Amino acid sequence: MGLCHVPFCLMGDFNEILQVEDRKRVNSLLASAEEFKSQVHDMQLMDLPLTNRKFTWFRGQSCSQIDRVLVNIEWAKEFPDIRLKGGPMGLSDHCLLIVEDTRVRRGPRTFRSLDFWFTHENFLRMVKNEWRGLGDAQFTCKLKALMIPLRQWHQNNFGDMDNKLRRFEEEIRRLDNMVSDGIYDGMTEARRKALVSFCEKWYVRKKIHWKQMSRSKHARNMDKNTRYFHNIASARRRNNRIDVLMIHGRLVRNETRIKVAIRGVYKDLYRQEYAPRIGVRDGLLK
């Protein structure tokens, strides 16, 4: 894995669970399950969630999810719209695993505030200036208009985060090679200290970004592992998507009808005498 960063997918019967919810009437993980879970984390793999059933193996009253699909971050990037569902069992005590492409048309973008923006010294000043320039327009209209300068500002300051880090690391490596060759002076030392400081700042920003995207509240020992949080964020994005909705007792898969039904529910809520407050939580307008 360390030598070859290519998309790959591991699928099949692993004969082990990852969490207690994966097996009926289990309250704790066995040592073998803890070891399996540790290996999955060490390899930075993402466990694709089943969308239509809880367990994949049945024998008598025993039920477990021991069949699963594990993918790496390159695979998740290459196939962002893949979902996993369980198929029929036939004569086996395992159900089929079906990996399918469920590319759907996205709705309008929500207003999102990224936490690492606040680490930039000019961010709040830019927002205040842009907000004042929008005058007395309606609040939601001002938010929508603010997205345009925010997107441009983000692109100018954070659009090439990985490339910035790569350039800093390459420059540090070049200075280290110079020192190894006997070329060293005060200017070299000052330059290296400045580059290390810049790298640390961008590492922190990258960690803040992916931790927010994953909404992870655990894995304290992995809080510097942005690839791990990237996997969690990818899993969240898949798991939060609504493909099927029960409407008036019927399962509906039509995307347009699902959107209309959800919009109708919230319209009814806001017509009530005590409407819920509008606020911003987790960067999304609620």
Mean pLDDT confidence for 10-26 = 91
| Residue at 182 is within a domain | yes
Q: Is the pLDDT of residue 203 over 50?
A: yes
Same domain, yes or no: 142 and 198 = yes
Domain that holds residue 151: 115-230
Per-residue pLDDT at 285:
41
First to last CA, the chain: 41
Q: Are 127 and 152 in contact (CB under 8 A)?
A: no
Per-residue pLDDT at 15:
92
Same domain, yes or no: 27 and 97 = yes
| Residue at 4 is within a domain | no
Final residue of a domain: which of 101, 133, 166? 101
Q: Are 117 and 125 in contact (CB under 8 A)?
A: no
| Residue at 168 is within a domain | yes
Crossing angle (nearest 10°) for helices 186-214 and 161-180: 150
Q: Are 8 and 69 in contact (CB under 8 A)?
A: no
Mean pLDDT confidence for 14-18 = 92
| Residue at 128 is within a domain | yes
166 pLDDT band, cuts 50/70/90, is: confident
Mean pLDDT confidence for 207-212 = 75
Q: Is the pLDDT of residue 67 over 90?
A: yes
Q: Is the pLDDT of residue 223 over 60?
A: no
Same domain, yes or no: 121 and 81 = no
| Residue at 236 is within a domain | no
| Residue at 107 is within a domain | no
Number of domains into which the chain is organized: 3
Same domain, yes or no: 259 and 198 = no
Per-residue pLDDT at 219:
44
| Residue at 71 is within a domain | yes
Kindly report the pTM of this predicted structure: 0.43
- Bridge partners of 12? 68
pLDDT digits (tens, 9 = 90+) for 175-190: 888 777 777 677 877 8
Q: Are 84 and 48 in contact (CB under 8 A)?
A: yes
| C-alpha–C-alpha distance, residues 50 and 84, integer Å | 5
Least confident of 35-49, 60-74, 123-137, 210-224: 210-224
* DSSP 8-class letter at 54: S
